[in-house]
Structure 1
């Protein structure tokens, strides 16, 4: 048995929440993907929950990758008129689970406080739809959002892309696509604990093989589903795994955060450093003791509240509030 390297411990408050759901966490393997999808996720958000905070939702069919139909949901404050900022959202789920409403609760304060319109995309999931389907579906959704900005009430000069985990990786990939294809101009990219490196080499991946919510084996399952035999080879696109990009110049400002006690820590820190290297403004937070998704699963922990406050402040500055 390989010895696990010494590693940062979990935050004490967050660890209590992790222990409370420990019996619900099972290994993420190709065989468990179907069951995971059927159970859904506590990070999903219902229409009733939206209505409770005065937000409406409407679903629209748009053209995704290769012209195939996909769905986006438009979320906005009830009774909203006029023009304001826009947020294009790509959900998490390891590239293999989740739907467009997963993680949306993180965006609700920005809808209310900044009168923003959120467009969240139902991209197709691996392994049934491997790379490039997920990132291309997301890019198609961004292009649709920009093209329909006027009717959506979005100021095209204030369009932000946001995503967490796999959604953070997709947001980073879409941002690279928008630059390289002369696509929609983005005001910023909000990358919450993004999943961006398929190579399984950073120290942080070895430090968390079996403790936490998304561990090393889970990560391998997700990347294998997305990339198949290409994982870890030179045949992987920077849009699928943005950590592979060697030129990050010309990208919009970024906010990147992660926990110190999760597999994505080192790749996220390296991505922030690469952005700075290439002259891009980036704000980086590594929250002490945070496991993957700590802020959503332990929202009352002091470290979670600090993480949320930092994101809120960055968005407010970006939108000029």
Structure 2
């Protein structure tokens, strides 16, 4: 991400309007990048779009137990994924929050977040818990739990009504965030002119 921001001009990008996004393991990566950006201060992240994110390597939520052996992603899938990343450290005391964001001591100071998950998937409860922590620690977090939806539902059934609704909700959130940034930029420009 640092390279992308440093080379923003080459690609016609605005380095002040960088989002991180990802689904499933990519959601963990996106949330980890947002944490790292906050902690190092090297770059600024405008927002994080987290779709059914894997946030907790301990795989001990109620939904992970409920969905064990069911659906396209269950607790065995989570354990396999986390073990591939962390090896024997998975579930132990020495896991970096940049790998497993639920391990972060604090989520305060992170950029606004859009967080979504299906109601019928193993990652449901850890996703809800992560979004609740974001909100409780002062982060503007919007959570959607899509009824009847499973892991990565919009990729598997893109024409389903819930998939269309979810994509529209994501786009609406992004539009609101950009509009708020535009208003702030305008106010800053106005203040600069009148100062």
Residues 97-176 of structure 1 mapped to structure 2, 5 A cutoff: 142-176=1-35
Shift of residue 233, structure 1, vs aligned partner = 0.7
TM-score by length of 1: 0.55
Aligned mates of 1:180, 1:307 — CA distance in 2: 31
Q: Size of the alignment, in residue pairs? A: 180
Residues 208-262 of structure 1: CA distance to partner in whole angstroms, max 9, x if unpaired? Answer: 1122111111111111111111111111011110011121111100000000100
| Secondary structure of the structure 1 residue equivalent to 2:14 | strand
Alignment of 1:1-321 (within 5 A): 142-320=1-179
SS at 2:16's partner residue? strand
**Does the residue aligned with 1:315 lie in a helix, a strand or coil?**
helix
Task: Tell me the distance in 1 between the aligned counterparts of 2:177 and 2:75.
Answer: 34
d(CA) in 1 for partners of 2:75, 2:138: 32
Cα distance in structure 1, aligned partners of 2:59 and 2:46: 31
Deviations 1:13-55 (A, max 9, x none): xxxxxxxxxxxxxxxxxxxxxxxxxxxxxxxxxxxxxxxxxxx
Instruction: Map Cα deviations across residues 39-84 of structure 1 (whole Å, 9 max, x no partner).
Output: xxxxxxxxxxxxxxxxxxxxxxxxxxxxxxxxxxxxxxxxxxxxxx
Instruction: Report which of the two has the higher share of strand.
Output: 1
> Which consecutive segments of 4 or more residues in structure 1 shift more than 4 A?
none
Consecutive unaligned residues in structure 2, runs of 5 or more: 183-195
2: distance between equivalents of 1:300 and 1:148? 37
TM-score when normalising by structure 2: 0.89
RMSD: 1.1
